[in-house]
């Protein structure tokens, strides 16, 4: 292990020296003398651009971390562009033919030599398949994995060096940032992952009206070539200047699909900027480029729902608890200081009209408060914050006077009603009943079996009546505990329905659940009291 690490350092050392030369030229050595001698934000951006692809991408990741860097540096990092000179067509032809295993003319009847766009990871070409389908072909630049692997290794060494020189940097979790960045680059440079994301989003949004996602042409795609249906439309910002009257409807559609995928499917597009949103000739919206997406499990979606509700209500304690539920467990969190900082965040939010509130900015403030108090923020939360910031910025650009929060409230209300629908409650109740049935069925035998093996020890099949009796008592206690949990669940579930204040059958069902749960607990208590009397 030590030898391989030493060899890795030797292979990476030329790149490390090159990086250090660039940093010295852009006055990064001033950091040794303290924060007052940091390089200017412009120097930082220019150094990153000079270092190339991996560092540009890393700078874009750091631009999300307002919890780590001052706003002036974040604003400058947001100017980082990922446009590169286009690859020559000969290179493109060689790459496509190698990936698809066939000559270009055998797969395409037409393939434009000039790309539609050229970025750091790939460039996109207009093409036509032999069967006449109009497609867009995304071709990855050669040698990316080798370049990225070397740069990530160099970044890791430099971060370790920085933490050695400046121990205060350890609180910022830069090794975690680099590790998450490396994982995201791995996903972004594997077009099979993007193709899978497109399929998931198409399935999740198939019922959303006025919206379309180009499908993947799988037989002409690979890990480094992605062929999709062509989106024959205009960028939404260009279209908006010509048709401003169409923008409110477009914004409502964007908000709906964003919240729908987050809360119902656990998916979200993390880069919804105007260049990735097109308006088709028939007026539908089209979403492109799924290289940067996020996924939220059910537990995180529930915590996010609680977080949003608590932020809107201005409840600092509930906001803190919901926020900590989203973050990995960490004993170093200063909960008292975090609560104070979150109170300050909510105070700033509620000083303004709700129509002027930015969800993205609110999330950024929470992330900053968390990082300052020992919270290890999950990568998904950063991506989600980025998505909201970009979406809100685009909305303000498309229609400055549009009440974005009104669209948000309408969609949240719809999702809330759906969450408390009879079908959803029935599904959760059925799931709970199955889990309780399994617990009641398995716990007694499992407990007896464990205690029996404990009693046997290494002496073979020696019986232990006392431990068997203990096993029976533990099993009975487990049965009573399980039924108590079931009754308590009825009370909690009914209370949630009542607190939702949705009226109608929701209110009646909530009352019935609460009464049933309390009655069950009373009956269980009376039964336990009678059993104790009989034993006496």
Query: Which of 14-28, 32-46, 112-126, 496-510 has the largest mean confidence?
Result: 112-126
What is residue 376's predicted lDDT score, i.e. its pLDDT? 81
Query: For residue 110, is it left (φ>0), alpha (ψ between -120 and 50) or beta?
Result: beta
What is residue 5's predicted lDDT score, i.e. its pLDDT? 45
Does residue 118 register a pLDDT over 60?
yes
Residue among 67, 151, 173, 271 flagged as catalytic: 271
Please report which confidence band the pLDDT of residue 194 belongs to, taking 50, 70 and 90 as the band edges. very high
Query: Which of 18-32, 56-70, 307-321, 417-431 has the largest mean confidence?
Result: 307-321
Secondary structure of 349-398 in HEC code, one letter for each residue: HHCCCHHHCCHHHHHHHHHHHHHHCCCCCCHHHHHHHHHHHHHHHHHHHH
Q: What average pLDDT does this structure show over 219-234? A: 94
pLDDT, tens digit, for every residue of 387-427? 888 888 888 888 877 776 676 777 666 666 665 555 555 55
Query: Which of 42-46, 69-73, 356-360, 473-477 has the largest mean confidence?
Result: 42-46
Q: Which position has the higher pLDDT, 104 or 395? A: 104
pLDDT, tens digit, for every residue of 448-478? 555 555 555 544 444 444 444 445 554 555 5
Encoded tokens for 395: 């909305």
* Gyration radius of the chain's alpha carbons: 29
Contact 247, 399 (CB under 8 A): yes
- CB atoms under 10 Å from CB of 134, counted, come to 13
Q: What is the largest CA-CA distance in the chain?
A: 93
Does residue 114 register a pLDDT over 60?
yes
Q: Specify the DSSP class assigned to residue 420.
A: T
> Is 271 considered catalytic here?
yes
Q: What average pLDDT does this structure show over 194-204? A: 92
Domains and their CATH numbers in the chain: 2-82+145-187 (no CATH), 83-142+190-230 (3.30.200.20), 233-419 (no CATH), 424-535 (no CATH)
Of 186-200, 361-375, 413-427, minimum mean pLDDT range: 413-427
> Kind and range of the H or E element at 258?
helix 247-260
Per the DSSP assignment, residues forming a β-bridge with 118 are: 123
DSSP string, 116-152: SEEBSSEEEEEEEETTS-EEEEEEEPTTHHHHHHHHH
> Kind and range of the H or E element at 514?
helix 504-535
Q: What's CA 345's distance to the chain center, in Å?
A: 22
pLDDT, tens digit, for every residue of 126-147? 999 999 999 999 999 998 888 8
Which residues touch 411 (CB under 8 Å, ≥6 apart)?
A: 255, 256, 259, 260
This prediction's pTM: 0.68
CA distance readout (Å), 370 to 70, 350, 361: 16, 19, 14
């Amino acid at each position: 292990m030590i030898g391989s690490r030493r060899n890795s350092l030797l292979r990476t050392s030329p790149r490390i020296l090159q990086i250090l030369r660039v940093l010295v030229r852009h006055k990064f050595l001033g950091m040794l003398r303290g924060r007052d001698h940091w390089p200017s934000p412009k120097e930082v951006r220019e150094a990153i651009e000079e270092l190339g692809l991996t560092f540009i991408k890393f700078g874009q990741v750091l631009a999300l971390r307002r919890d780590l860097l001052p706003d002036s540096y974040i604003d400058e990092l947001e100017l980082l562009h990922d446009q590169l000179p286009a690859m020559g067509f000969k290179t493109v032809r060689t790459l496509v033919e190698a990936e698809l295993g066939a000559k270009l003319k055998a797969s395409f009847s037409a393939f434009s030599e000039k790309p539609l766009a050229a970025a750091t990871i790939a460039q996109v070409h207009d093409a036509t398949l032999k069967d006449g389908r109009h497609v867009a072909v995304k071709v990855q630049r050669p040698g990316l994995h080798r370049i990225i692997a070397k740069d990530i290794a160099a970044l890791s060494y430099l971060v370790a060096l920085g933490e050695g020189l400046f121990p205060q940097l350890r609180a910022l979790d830069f090794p975690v940032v680099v590790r998450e960045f490396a994982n995201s680059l791995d996903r972004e440079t594997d077009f099979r992952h993007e193709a899978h994301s497109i399929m998931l989003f198409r399935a999740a949004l198939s019922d959303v009206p006025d919206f379309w996602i180009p499908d993947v042409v799988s037989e002409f795609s690979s890990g480094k070539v992605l062929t999709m249906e062509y989106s024959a439309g205009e960028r939404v910002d260009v279209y908006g200047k010509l048709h401003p009257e169409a923008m409110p409807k477009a914004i409502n559609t964007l908000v709906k699909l964003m919240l729908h995928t987050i809360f119902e499917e656990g998916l979200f597009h993390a880069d919804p900027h105007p260049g990735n949103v097109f308006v088709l000739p028939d007026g539908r919206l089209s979403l492109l480029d799924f290289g940067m997406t996020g996924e939220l499990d059910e537990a995180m979606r529930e915590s996010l729902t609680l977080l949003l509700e608590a932020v809107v209500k201005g409840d600092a304690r509930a906001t803190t608890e919901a926020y900590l539920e989203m973050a990995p467990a960490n004993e170093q969190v200063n909960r008292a200081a975090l609560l104070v900082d979150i109170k300050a965040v909510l105070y700033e939010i509620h000083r303004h009209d709700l129509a002027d509130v930015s969800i993205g900015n609110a999330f950024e403030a929470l992330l900053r408060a968390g990082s300052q108090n020992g919270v290890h923020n999950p990568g998904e939360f950063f991506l989600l914050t980025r998505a909201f910031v970009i979406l809100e910025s685009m909305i303000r650009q498309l229609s400055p006077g549009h009440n974005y929060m009104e669209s948000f409230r309408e969609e949240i209300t719809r999702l809330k009603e759906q969450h408390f629908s009879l079908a959803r409650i029935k599904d959760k109740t059925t799931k709970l009943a199955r889990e309780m049935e399994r617990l009641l069925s398995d716990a007694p035998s499992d407990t007896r079996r464990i205690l029996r093996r404990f009693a046997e020890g290494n002496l073979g099949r020696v019986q232990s009546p006392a431990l068997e009796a203990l096993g029976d008592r533990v099993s009975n206690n487990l049965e009573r505990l399980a039924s108590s949990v079931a009754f308590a669940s009825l009370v909690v579930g009914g209370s949630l329905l009542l607190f939702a204040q949705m009226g109608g059958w929701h209110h009646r069902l909530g009352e019935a659940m609460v009464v049933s749960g309390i009655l069950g607990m009373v009956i269980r208590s009376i039964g336990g009291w009678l059993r104790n009397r009989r034993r006496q």
